[in-house]
Structure 1
Amino acid sequence: MEQLTTQEYLIQIDKHPKSVYVLHERTERRFPVHHHAKGQITYVEGGVAYLHVDDTAYIIPARHYVWVPCGLNHFLKVRHSASAIRSIYFYTYDDDSSPFYSRMGIYPVNNLLHEMMIYTGQWRGHIHPESRHYSFFTALKNLLSVSETQNLPIVLPTTQNDRLQPVLQYLDTYAAQLLTLSTVSQKFGLSERTLSRLFQSTLSMSFLQYLKQLRMVKAVELMLQTDLTLSQIAFATGYGSISAFSNTFYQQTQMRPSEFLHTIK
């Protein structure tokens, strides 16, 4: 299986509708935008991953997994190096047993699911119904729907708009600085009204909403990749106080930064 091309992997995933297809890798395989007839769970050990769906990037932090329902166009990008990328593609004949399987979501990995995902590292390729290991994967899939907790809504819109892309790159680089609609519009020779309309028409959100979400994504990355305190992370993402940072983080995720930090450590 190691010699398969990316396109051959995509064909293999759906080759046997009732099988479970296991794909574990040490480095990111850059699949293009694609979909498959099976549901997919992906767990990234270490690093930070992003699931791109249409013009939205969903962040997948450490100790979280993403469920991708069948038929959803997507691609995965690992922003920081990961020790392993574990993906399992499941049959769909029992998907109507729970609404969980029909919607995309990012969820924390509990201890049992974590151990089961690690245990799957010994397998590669198709696990067929007649295999004695098939029941293990059936149990794993069933566990997803019964252990489902709150979906993590840390998202960041993306765009191919030529006028807005350089603005977003600038915000990404200088997110820790004092940024306002006025200063950024002046930087790019635009009126505040033009830039505001560009954000609304292209990303369906305001300049301020986008900046808040960008800073939350950066905060999560700092929690995962550094040993900075929450106060240091607050200042590193443009907030003058820990309370302002905590309140914004709660607005975006429905949990306090300290609570989230507990789920990923």
Structure 2
Amino acid sequence: MKISSDGIKFLNDVDVVPNNIYVHHTKIEERLPIHVHTKHQLSYVEGGVAFLNTPTNSYFLPARHFVWVPAGMQHNVELRSPVVMVRNLYFPSDLFPKNHKLRKMGIYPVTNLVMEMIMYTEQWKGGFNEKDIEVYEFLLALRNVLMAVSRVPLPVVLPTTKNESLLLVLRYIHENIEAPLKLNDLAKRFGMSSRSLSRLFRQHIDTSFLQYVKLTRVIKSMEMLLETNMSISEIAYACGYSNVAAFSNVFMQMAKRRPADFRKENIKISH
């Protein structure tokens, strides 16, 4: 993947000064390759649909949530629709206790206070440390708030793989999510036994065929809940459910809230 000189400079600048807290906001998020930082990263996407990709998983980023990427984790952020702004903050890893949950990857709701503090950083760009007293103290205060309010991460993760045979199956599932998807039918379509296909899922993404389909349908429904005016029932049918109750129950199981509540809590700022 070709990256602009600005993209390369930004990736390098984040880690140049180890004790800097680095601030980077952009209206156009360049599609960066999978990369890694020595600092923890907070990314908040205003509007639109985004995913955090790692070599093994894809994490859906709903509106009004931020993603926390721990230092040393390979990742990139993929935007699936136009966005208003991508806000990134990078914190030196030693600013967080070794046993704190923000030492691990997570997607967390953005409280009103966190939202206001992130927005306030819009006036800054680049790295800041103890010499920049006012800015640095504010960013440390934001760190303290994040540590206090980041309690329960969003539990929706879509595993991925580099296995070419399984990738074809996964792509078919994504492109036909509204259709009945059965293990036997897909195994036959891709020229293998049901047992072999089931084994591929277990070996390469450590989940079952049924669980993967459920996750894909819930994530697709999350996109529709945030990006369309479709009714809950229309979204249920578009994601392969024959009735709203079944859809709502699976959504509740995966996202720990009902579809209507998820839409209400995460309605885009621009609406």
TM-score bucket of the superposed structures, by smaller chain: over 0.9
Q: Give 1:98 shift.
A: 6.1
Asked whether 1:129 is paired with 2:136, we answer: no
The question of whether the paired residues in 2 share the 8 Å contact of 1:22 and 1:123 is answered with yes
AA matched with 1:95:
F
Q: Give 1:113 shift.
A: 1.0
The question of whether the paired residues in 2 share the 8 Å contact of 1:108 and 1:263 is answered with no
CA distance in 2, matches of 1:58, 1:236: 21
Q: Any stretches of 5+ residues in structure 2 without a counterpart?
A: none
AA matched with 2:247:
F
User: Who is 1:60 aligned against?
Assistant: 61
AA matched with 2:14:
I
Counterparts of 1:92-171 in structure 2 under 5 Å?
92-96=93-97, 99-131=100-132, 132-171=134-173
CA distance in 2, matches of 1:129, 1:7: 26
The question of whether the paired residues in 1 share the 8 Å contact of 2:225 and 2:259 is answered with no
Residues 200-255 of structure 1: per-residue CA shift (max 9 Å, x gap):
11111111111000001100000111011111111110111111011111111222
CA distance in 2, matches of 1:28, 1:98: 32
User: Who is 1:207 aligned against?
Assistant: 209
Give % identity.
Answer: 40
* Number of matched pairs: 263
CA distance in 1, matches of 2:176, 2:247: 17
AA matched with 1:73:
Q
- RMSD of equivalent CA atoms: 1.5
4+ residue runs over 4 A deviation: none
User: Who is 1:182 aligned against?
Assistant: 184
CA distance in 2, matches of 1:90, 1:52: 20
Asked whether 1:29 is paired with 2:30, we answer: yes
Secondary structure (helix, strand or coil) at the match of 1:221 reads helix
Secondary structure (helix, strand or coil) at the match of 1:149 reads coil
Q: Give 1:106 shift.
A: 0.1
Counterparts of 1:234-245 in structure 2 under 5 Å?
234-245=236-247
TM-score by length of 2: 0.92
CA distance in 1, matches of 2:144, 2:153: 17
CA distance in 1, matches of 2:190, 2:93: 49
Q: Any stretches of 5+ residues in structure 1 without a counterpart?
A: none
TM-score by length of 1: 0.94
Q: Give 1:117 shift.
A: 1.3
CA distance in 2, matches of 1:90, 1:233: 39
User: Who is 1:247 aligned against?
Assistant: 249
Residues 116-168 of structure 1: per-residue CA shift (max 9 Å, x gap):
11221111111222212111111111111111132101111111211111111
CA distance in 2, matches of 1:103, 1:202: 22
User: Who is 1:9 aligned against?
Assistant: 10
CA distance in 1, matches of 2:101, 2:208: 31
CA distance in 2, matches of 1:220, 1:248: 12
